[in-house]
């Protein structure tokens, strides 16, 4: 099983970016933990972080042919990107949206997600562990759909 892990804008700065909101774990350490959990679950995890909306859209297009599911933190694009919403639907893969912070406890403009409606579910507010939760839920859902 192949899973694409996608991280959107400004997430490369995790570790030093607003640590009171996002914590002090780096993106590299989060990705390493997701890959390790994936290996335990029999899932190979490929990762891409990009600040560019188009690069994230293109990655979803490629994943349609090469992957079985997607874990995505669209970051700020969550709240404004019709293109990512459409790409999530177009790739035809089950996806789980994840946010480190609880977006519903923050500014009003973060309360709307344009992308969550194109995903099977959303995990928000559990910090880096949310990525593990998202991966586990996604792998379980892929297996359920495959009937195993």
What's phi and psi for 106, nearest 5 deg?
-115, -160
The distance of closest approach from Cβ of residue 42 to ligand DQA in the complex, given in angstroms and rounded to an integer, is: 27
CB nearer ligand DQA, residue 106 or residue 143: 106
Task: Work out whether strand 121-124 and strand 2-7 pair parallel, antiparallel, or are unpaired.
Answer: unpaired
Chain-centroid distance of CA 140 in Å reads 16
Name the residue nearer to ligand DQA (CB basis): 8 or 38. Answer: 8
Q: Are 94 and 70 in contact (CB under 8 A)?
A: yes
Beta-bridged to residue 21, according to DSSP, are none
Round the CA-based radius of gyration of the chain to a whole number and report it.
14
Least separation, in Å, of the C-beta of 125 and ligand DQA? 8
Identify the CA nearest to 71 among candidates 22, 2, 146.
2
- The binding site for ligand DQA (CB under 6 A) comprises 10, 73, 75-76, 78, 99-101, 103, 110
Residues noted as catalytic: 22, 99
Compute the least distance from the CB of residue 35 to ligand DQA, in Å. 19
Measured from the CB atom, the residue of 78 and 81 that comes closer to ligand DQA is 78
């Amino acid at each position: 099983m192949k899973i694409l892990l996608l991280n959107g804008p400004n997430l490369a700065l995790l570790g030093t970016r607003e640590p009171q909101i996002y914590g002090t774990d780096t993106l590299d350490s989060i990705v390493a933990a997701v890959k390790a959990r994936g290996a335990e679950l029999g899932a190979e995890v490929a990762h891409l972080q990009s600040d560019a909306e188009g690069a994230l859209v293109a990655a979803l297009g490629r994943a349609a042919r090469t992957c079985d599911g997607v874990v995505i933190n669209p970051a700020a694009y969550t709240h404004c990107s019709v293109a990512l919403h459409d790409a999530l639907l177009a790739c035809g893969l089950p996806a789980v949206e994840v946010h480190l912070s609880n977006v519903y406890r923050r500014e009003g403009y973060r309360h709307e997600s344009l992308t969550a409606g194109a995903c099977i579910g959303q995990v928000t507010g559990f910090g880096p562990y949310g990525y593990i939760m998202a991966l586990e839920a996604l792998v379980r859902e892929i297996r359920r759909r495959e009937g195993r």
